[in-house]
Structure 1
Amino acid sequence: MIVAAYGAQASQAVASSSPTVATAFSSSVRFSRRDWNTRTSTEVEEPGPNHWDGSLATVDEQGKLHLKISKNGQGGWSCAEVFLPSSLGYGTYTVKVSSPTNDLHENAVLGLFTYADVAQSELSNPHREFDVEVAKWGVASDSTNTQYAVQPYQLPGHRLRFAVPGPEATVHAMTWSPNELSWTSTSASSGALLQSWSFKSTPEVGAVPPPGTEVFHINLWLFEASLPQDHADVEIVLDSFSFEPLKAPSRKLLSLQLRSGHLRRRSTPSSSTVILTGKTVIML
């Protein structure tokens, strides 16, 4: 499915991540049988811009990932981010979010997304960024609270915003394949479909880039680096992450009808098909 982003009342843009030259990655966490780097910055960085503290990403005894936004010693707030050390490429990325997200603070953003630090200017999506984002972009009254986005989100057809109702756990999945991206969001308890969307390469909307140096990120951050001073820390708990590589296309099915009462075998350079009396034989 992550995710983070751009948005803000459908007009303001916020970079989802930033080059890591000013960032120190001093620790890692083990989540869903994978090692994840944590993000710690020496100064404010996008998105936000915010301070980033690796200690705000932890895994509990049940193996769940906790991300927090917390007050820091400078009188502001620090945010949390984890990311995988290498690209996974084509396939389905699935994240189960244990915490209800319908009442997430209007300035908090949960991002589930792919991102490459090094941009490739020849690509329509230079950072290979595809997002699932839970956010109201600073508007408490906004009924929408989740979006799918293909960067640059400002282009027509690159974003879908919708509402996830109710205080329940959610599952967000994103499938990346050549020339197409697709998303689904479902209820973790009932399996009910909350939303789905697909984005295909066309001359009008641009091309889906191939895998490169992008890695999957999960972060929790502050839109415009702002929370009311009397507000408590913000925390999101994620149950699991999984990845299923894209399966290679299967060989075409071959179907032949028997024309005689004898068993025959016909070979081709790439396949062998057995034909039985009165039967249809299919081989992959």
Structure 2
Amino acid sequence: MTSMVSTMALLLIAAVIMILMACGHTFGDGGMLVAALDAQASQENGAAAASSSTVIAASSSDLSFSGRLWHRRTSAGVEEPGPNHWDGRLATVDEQGKLHLTICRNAQGGWSCTEVLLASSLGYGTYTVQVSSPINGLHKNVMLGLFTYADDAQSELSNTHREFDVDVAKWGVASEATNIQYAIQPYQLPGQRLCFTVAGQDSTIHAMTWSPSSVSWTSTSSSSGVVLETWSFGSSPEVGAVPSPGGEVFHINLWLFGASLPEDRTDVEVVIHDFSFTPLKAPGRKLFSHQRYPRHHRPRSSSSP
């Protein structure tokens, strides 16, 4: 406010001097006034630039979606999965709060993919993602991943990265019609995944519940609430028990399987309506009666000495 007032005052003085100079008056300090105006403008422009760069720096690698902070992945070259090039700018949130993930051509003539991941681990609980885009509408070679993943591998675990997946794709793992799989990594082992098909153009909801004893999935229709598929994994001889939380975070990505080009060579976009997480409830405790007993008197119990 002070800066605005001072600028207006200087501009008013400048206007008066210009009028007087037009009438034949001269002012030896006119150059000083111009310098003062330039200095004021430079100061304000510098402050605006600093404010703008601060905003850009804060949002260049992160975005807010469904009330949580997400990191946008960017790579200097190609990286797994794919391998693909990753561009964080391709992940955006619209005015309605929906997340948009895009695969598109890049300046190098190749294709760039998109991934966002939570800033922190959530652990046991139910992870729910509502996908606005039709599952059956994805192009061949394109995969949408909804999964947990820990960067630091634990060699003592069979599932070294604590990775549990909902994968949406038409890569022909079971048949050309298959477009979704639930998976416990490593998925190649027997009983580690379930493949199925979702037809139609409806949006879908995918929920994964992680507990100490199991991981379970349920996919439903957004419009009708009809359950499309459900599956649960407890343990297997090859993998053992379900691992406990340990540094994993939830990821959402859109990428090219085997770095193959989109089937019709056009950009691909998937819209995620929202994400939610419900922590796993702790086992309930037995409630004791509030009945009062006389002082120094305990109710008789078979377990009492």
Indicate the residue corresponding to 2:201 in structure 1. 167
Equivalent AA in structure 1 for residue 87 of structure 2: D
- Check if 1:78 corresponds to 2:112: yes
Given candidates 66, 79, 82, the residue that maps to 1:48 is: 82
Alpha-carbon distance in structure 2 between the residues aligned to 1:30 and 1:125:
30
3-state SS of 1:41 partner = coil
Alpha-carbon distance in structure 2 between the residues aligned to 1:266 and 1:96:
54
Deviations 1:141-193 (A, max 9, x none): 71110000000001111100000111010000000000200000000000000
- TM-superposed deviation, 1:73: 1.2
Whichever structure has more helix as a proportion of its residues is 2
Alpha-carbon distance in structure 2 between the residues aligned to 1:202 and 1:157:
8
Indicate the residue corresponding to 2:70 in structure 1. 36
- TM-superposed deviation, 1:203: 3.5
Alpha-carbon distance in structure 1 between the residues aligned to 2:72 and 2:188:
29
| 8 Å CA contact 1:84, 1:217 repeated in 2 | yes
Given candidates 229, 247, 250, the residue that maps to 1:216 is: 250
Indicate the residue corresponding to 2:123 in structure 1. 89
- Check if 1:191 corresponds to 2:225: yes
3-state SS of 2:258 partner = helix
Given candidates 180, 183, 195, the residue that maps to 1:146 is: 180
- TM-superposed deviation, 1:225: 1.0
Equivalent AA in structure 2 for residue 56 of structure 1: L
TM (normalized to structure 2)? 0.73
Gapped regions of structure 2 (runs ≥ 5): 1-58, 300-305
**Runs of 4+ residues over 2 Å off in structure 1:** 201-205, 252-255, 263-267
Gapped regions of structure 1 (runs ≥ 5): 1-24, 256-262, 274-284
Indicate the residue corresponding to 1:238 in structure 2. 272
Alpha-carbon distance in structure 2 between the residues aligned to 1:230 and 1:181:
36
Identity across matched positions, percent: 71
RMSD: 2.4
| 8 Å CA contact 1:109, 1:220 repeated in 2 | yes
Given candidates 159, 165, 169, the residue that maps to 1:131 is: 165
3-state SS of 1:102 partner = helix
Alpha-carbon distance in structure 1 between the residues aligned to 2:263 and 2:145:
23
Equivalent AA in structure 1 for residue 141 of structure 2: N
Give the total of aligned pairs.
Answer: 238
- Check if 1:118 corresponds to 2:136: no
| 8 Å CA contact 2:256, 2:262 repeated in 1 | no
| 8 Å CA contact 1:106, 1:138 repeated in 2 | no
Whichever structure has more strand as a proportion of its residues is 1
| 8 Å CA contact 1:187, 1:194 repeated in 2 | yes
Alpha-carbon distance in structure 2 between the residues aligned to 1:229 and 1:200:
37
- TM-superposed deviation, 1:252: 4.0
- TM-superposed deviation, 1:205: 4.4
Query: Whose Rg is larger?
Result: 2
